[in-house]
A and B are shown apart, each in its own frame.
Chain A
Amino acid sequence: GEDVEQSLFLSVREGDSSVINCTYTDSSSTYLYWYKQEPGAGLQLLTYIFSNMDMKQDQRLTVLLNKKDKHLSLRIADTQTGDSAIYFCADESNSGYSTLTFGKGTMLLVSP
């Protein structure tokens, strides 16, 4: 079945860049997504990328997509302590209808 995999934990220092990686299996996804979850909150959409694109930049966020290897990454430039959260990669379920398949999430810890 469909699967989305992420590393579970990443620790960086404030000011460094963070790179969160994700692999997915469903090659039919038209869009791929990155969400952020802070403690006690729901998921917040950070950005998404159309599957025909290789890269998308949005302020401090850069998404890279390697469709051949089914690899997606999220780079956060100048990481701040406020970026500490869990980051989820998601692809579109082939059953459609606003259904996403999420990875287990990567916990990003930013230390001062």
Chain B
Amino acid sequence: DTGVSQDPRHKITKRGQNVTFRCDPISEHNRLYWYRQTLGQGPEFLTYFQNEAQLEKSRLLSDRFSAERPKGSFSTLEIQRTEQGDSAMYLCASSLGTGTSNQPQHFGDGTRLSIL
């Protein structure tokens, strides 16, 4: 049983560039989450998918951010026109659940984004 996989592990880019991250959840998990973690803080929720439907988005997810999960399996998170403040660890998690029932979320090792 493989865990949540994220790619790339590290991304360094210049301000103003676009970046895209990929997350492959645990295979049988229907729910997928994106979080952002800055140094010294706990992860903060960005968005959540159940299968291919994006059901919740945080106010932290500005219009420069877009997430997709087109086939209900892997997901991508794109940041357009990156800014210094986007530098953070982007974590993906997945879980199995139906309705209000939800098993615990399991996290990947994240993509660390550094904006020059």
A and B: real partners? no
Residues of chain A whose beta carbon lies under 8 Å from any beta carbon of chain B: none
Residues of chain B whose beta carbon lies under 8 Å from any beta carbon of chain A: none
